[in-house]
């Protein structure tokens, strides 16, 4: 009996010692874990630009704009076909031109999303058109509602971003004429540039809550009108205090001395559309140095997609394939 109690006491002491050692070990492990978590939190919130991981050399996320296969003349290339062609070329994404969709019905959008998934393609942007530069408040409201609708379409397709335009004054009729004027147009009589910027900023601010609610990023393009110059583009982008608005860099929409202008907007760029002109441009041709453009984007650690917008007169299959090779070489 005495041996039993001695054995039990010894066993109890051993157990208490083990429990104490376990608690010490557990406390050390817990404190180490807290330190690691707090370190990652301090890096995650309010992190500086320098702490963002650097892009791996040679890594390129390449997409193709569906516009590359349809320049607003019949026949209209189907989005399903563009997805299949992009998959065959080994690129990662497709940038959908809104006007190229066969329907806005949810059943069609669901099938399109499924088709992209089965072909190993990300749907990366919905490129839409709108015009906020109008003294008519009803016209601006229609364009705001159109933009909100497109945000919902992008959400249904699983697309994380949409392209925005500022709009134009409408004082030059026809795109060909606008290109003859190198994108410059007179201000509408009776109004000022400040009026145009205020209309555009107020309109985008009304779209931002819908974008935030549905998780769709807005990318404002240098696309004629108020955004013909980098100064105009950045005036709008900087006036809207929302993490859901960034800049879409179109490499072919600064017609003169593009590189300094691209460099100005590069730090704010969240999506890139890269113009190519094999066979000569449909409206104009630029001899763009894509190694230089790659250098501009690398300097600001751009990690997003490069979406090819082939705008040449060569057959689309030929022009797009050459564009893929050009961009891969330039960014490698």
Percent of the chain with pLDDT over 90: 78
Query: Same domain for 148 and 243?
Result: yes
pLDDT of residue 79: 98
* Parent domain of 21: 1-38
pLDDT for the residue numbered 179:
85
Looking at residue 245, what is its pLDDT?
A: 98
- Reported as a pLDDT band with limits 50, 70 and 90, residue 159 is very high
Q: In this structure, are 141 and 289 located in the same domain?
A: yes
Same domain, 140 and 31: no
Asked whether residue 72 falls in the same domain as residue 5, the answer is: no
Q: Determine the average pLDDT of the residues in 80-91.
A: 98
Q: Which residues are paired to 165 by β-bridges?
A: none
51 is a domain residue: no
Stronger pLDDT, 55 or 132, i.e. the higher one? 132
Residues 25 and 110 in one domain: no
CA distance 141 to 112: 29
Q: Give me the phi and psi of 327, to 5 degrees please.
A: -70, -40
Question: For residues 150 and 134, what is the distance between their CA atoms, to the nearest angstrom?
Answer: 20
Q: What is the pLDDT of residue 56?
A: 53
Residue 88 lies in a domain: yes
Place of tokens 């201000």: 187
Residue 197 reports pLDDT greater than 80 = yes
* Residues forming a β-bridge with 163: 127, 219
Q: What is the pTM of this model?
A: 0.82
Task: Find the mean pLDDT for residues 109-125.
Answer: 98
Mean pLDDT of 288-299: 97
- Could you give the CA distance from residue 269 to residue 271 in angstroms, rounded to a whole number? 6
Residue 11 lies in a domain: yes
Question: What are the DSSP calls for 14-72, one per residue?
Answer: HHHHHHHHHHHHHHHHHHHHHHHHHHHHHHHTT--GGGSPPPPTT--EEEEEGGGG-SS
52 part of a folded domain: no
CA torsion, ordered 76, 315, 163, 122, to nearest 10 deg? 90
Q: What is the pLDDT of residue 64?
A: 98
Residue 53 lies in a domain: no
For 86-153, give the secondary structure using H, E and C.
HHHHCCCEEEEEHHHCCCCCHHHHHHHHHHHHHCCCEEEEEECCCCCCCCCHHHHHHHHHHHHHHHHH
| Judgement on whether residues 190 and 314 belong to the same structural domain of the protein | yes
Q: What is the mean pLDDT of the chain?
A: 86
Tell me, yes or no, whether 210 and 302 share the same domain: yes
CB 223 within 8 A of CB 230: no
Mean pLDDT value of segment 138-151 = 98
Residue 50 lies in a domain: no
Q: Average pLDDT for residues 14-41, to the nearest whole number?
A: 40
Whether 250 is covered by a domain: the verdict is yes
For residue 145, the domain's CATH number is 3.20.20.150
User: Residue 120 contacts by C-beta under 8 Å, 6 or more apart in sequence?
Assistant: 87
Whether 39 and 281 have beta carbons less than 8 Å apart is answered as no
What per-residue confidence (pLDDT) applies to 59? 65
Angle, in degrees to the nearest 10, between helices 193-214 and 137-157: 30
Rounded (10°) angle between helices 137-157 and 106-118: 40
Same domain, residue pair 16 and 128:
no
Tell me, yes or no, whether 247 lies in a domain.
yes
Q: Are residues 97 and 200 in the same domain?
A: yes
Distance CA 198, CA 220 (A): 15
123 - beta bridge partners? 94
C-alpha neighbours within 13 Å on the C-beta side of residue 100:
27
Q: Which residues 6+ apart lie within 8 Å of 50 measured at CB? A: none
Whether residues 66 and 34 share a domain: the answer is: no
What confidence score (pLDDT) does residue 332 get? 85
With a cut of 70, say whether residue 36 has pLDDT above it.
Answer: no
Q: In this structure, are 20 and 124 located in the same domain?
A: no
Residue 318 has pLDDT above 60, yes or no: yes
For the record, the structure tokens of 235 come out as: 């005036």
Residue with the bigger pLDDT between 63 and 15: it is 63
When mean pLDDT is compared across 74-88, 93-107, 163-177, 288-302, the lowest value belongs to 163-177
Question: Could you report the per-residue pLDDT of 241-259, keeping only the tens digit for each?
Answer: 999 999 999 999 999 999 9
For the chain, what is the domain count? 2
Share of residues in the chain with pLDDT > 70 (%): 82
3-class secondary-structure state, position 217: strand
| Same domain, residue pair 129 and 187 | yes
pLDDT for the residue numbered 174: 87
């Amino acid at each position: 009996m005495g041996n039993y109690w001695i054995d039990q006491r010894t066993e109890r002491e051993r157990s208490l010692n083990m429990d104490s050692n376990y608690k010490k070990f557990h406390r050390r492990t817990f404190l180490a874990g807290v330190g690691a978590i707090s370190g990652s939190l301090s890096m995650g919130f309010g992190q500086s630009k320098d702490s963002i991981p650097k892009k791996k050399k040679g890594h390129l996320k390449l997409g193709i704009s569906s516009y590359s296969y349809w320049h607003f003349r019949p026949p209209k290339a189907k989005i399903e076909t563009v997805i299949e062609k992009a998959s065959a070329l080994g690129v990662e994404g497709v940038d959908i031109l809104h006007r190229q969709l066969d329907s806005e019905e949810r059943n069609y959008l669901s099938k399109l999303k499924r088709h992209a998934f089965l072909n190993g393609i990300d749907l990366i942007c919905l490129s839409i058109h709108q015009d906020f530069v109008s003294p008519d408040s009803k016209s601006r409201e229609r364009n705001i509602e159109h933009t909100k609708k497109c945000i919902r379409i992008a959400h249904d397709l699983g697309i994380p971003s949409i392209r925005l335009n500022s709009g134009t004054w409408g004082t030059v009729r026809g795109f060909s004429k606008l290109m003859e004027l190198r994108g410059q147009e007179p201000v509408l009589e009776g109004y000022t540039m400040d009026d145009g910027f205020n209309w555009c900023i107020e309109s985008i601010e009304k779209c931002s809550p819908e974008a935030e609610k549905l998780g769709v990023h807005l990318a404002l393009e240098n696309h004629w009108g108020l955004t013909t110059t980098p100064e105009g583009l950045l005036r709008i982008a900087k006036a809207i205090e929302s993490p859901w608005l960034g800049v879409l860099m179109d490499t072919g929409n600064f017609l003169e001395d593009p590189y300094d202008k691209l460099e100005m907007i590069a730090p704010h760029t969240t999506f890139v559309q890269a113009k190519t002109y094999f066979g000569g441009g449909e409206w104009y041709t630029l001899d763009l140095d894509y190694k230089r453009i790659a250098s501009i984007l690398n300097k600001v650690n751009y990690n997003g997609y490069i979406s090819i917008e082939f705008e040449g007169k060569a057959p689309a299959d030929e022009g797009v394939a050459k564009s893929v090779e050009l961009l891969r070489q330039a960014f490698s």
